[in-house]
Each structure stands twice: as C-alpha cells, then as structure tokens.
Amino acid sequence: MIGDIKGYLAVYSQALDLRAHRQQVLASNIANADTPYYKARDFDFQAAFADAMGRQAAGGHLTLARTHGGHLPLASGAPEGVNLQYRTEHQSAVDGNTVDMDVERAQIADNALQYQMLTQFVTHKLQGMRTAISSNQG
C-alpha cells in the first residue's frame, strides 16, 4: 500500500523538487544582480519535468557516466534532467551583468505561485486518501 501511495504522489514530488530548485536558481540570479559579468541562469521547467517523468516511466534514474575512477561525481545539487541555460539578455548592462530585476521578480513570483498550487494539490490528495481510509474503518 505504501508503494501505491508513493507512486500516486510521485508526479507531485518530482514537480515540487523541480520548482524548489528553480526557486534557488532565480534567487541566485537576484543575489548576483550587482556582480559584474554575472550571467542570469534559468531552465525550462516543462522540459525538465518531462525528462524526469520519462526517466521514472523507464524505471529509474539516469546517472552521469564516469569514465575514469579519478573522476568526481556530479555534485551540482540540481535534480537530474535540469539543463541550466543562460537567460536571453533583454537590455545591456555596462558591467556585463545580464540580470533584469523585473524579469527575475516576475519569474520568482510565478514559480512561487506554481509551487503553492502543487502543495495544495498534494494536500487535497492526502485529505481524500485520509477520508477514504477512515470511511472504510467504520
């Protein structure tokens, strides 16, 4: 039964992990808004989510190939399937920084809203399961 619950919530778990990681990336952009030559980063949530779901359907996680014993493992902290890209520059800065605070604020607000919606979906799913379990016991 626990395995069924885990599978039932796996989609939401993957989405929440990716949303949390995107929030960190966006916060890093804002933190480096005054750093000369810093290039704003982001990733395509839909592509990363589709990749994560494809790996799950295939039965596991893909790992980075280490072709030599001396190679260090990937330790970026990013969920697998996240392809960080440099954000398209909207306006040039004299110091070479590509962070546009208006874009970053809009993206962070949208991502936070999406994260909140996902947590509400999970809460409703769990409440529904709790109701179903409690109605079967009486």
pLDDT by residue for the chain (138 residues), tens only, comes to 566 777 778 889 999 999 999 999 999 999 999 999 999 999 999 998 888 888 766 555 545 556 767 766 655 566 777 889 998 887 778 898 999 999 999 999 999 999 999 999 999 989 988 898 888 765
Query: Which domain does 22 fall in, by range?
Result: 2-58+81-87+95-132
Establish if 44 belongs to a structural domain: yes
Establish if 115 belongs to a structural domain: yes
Establish if 63 belongs to a structural domain: no
- Residue-wise DSSP of 14-43: HHHHHHHHHHHHHHHHHHTTTSTT---EE-
* Whole-number pLDDT of residue 30: 97
Vertex 133: Cα angle to 127 and 134 (nearest 5): 90
Establish if 30 belongs to a structural domain: yes
Establish if 40 belongs to a structural domain: yes
Establish if 73 belongs to a structural domain: no
Domains contained in the chain, number:
1
pTM score: 0.76
* Whole-number pLDDT of residue 41: 95
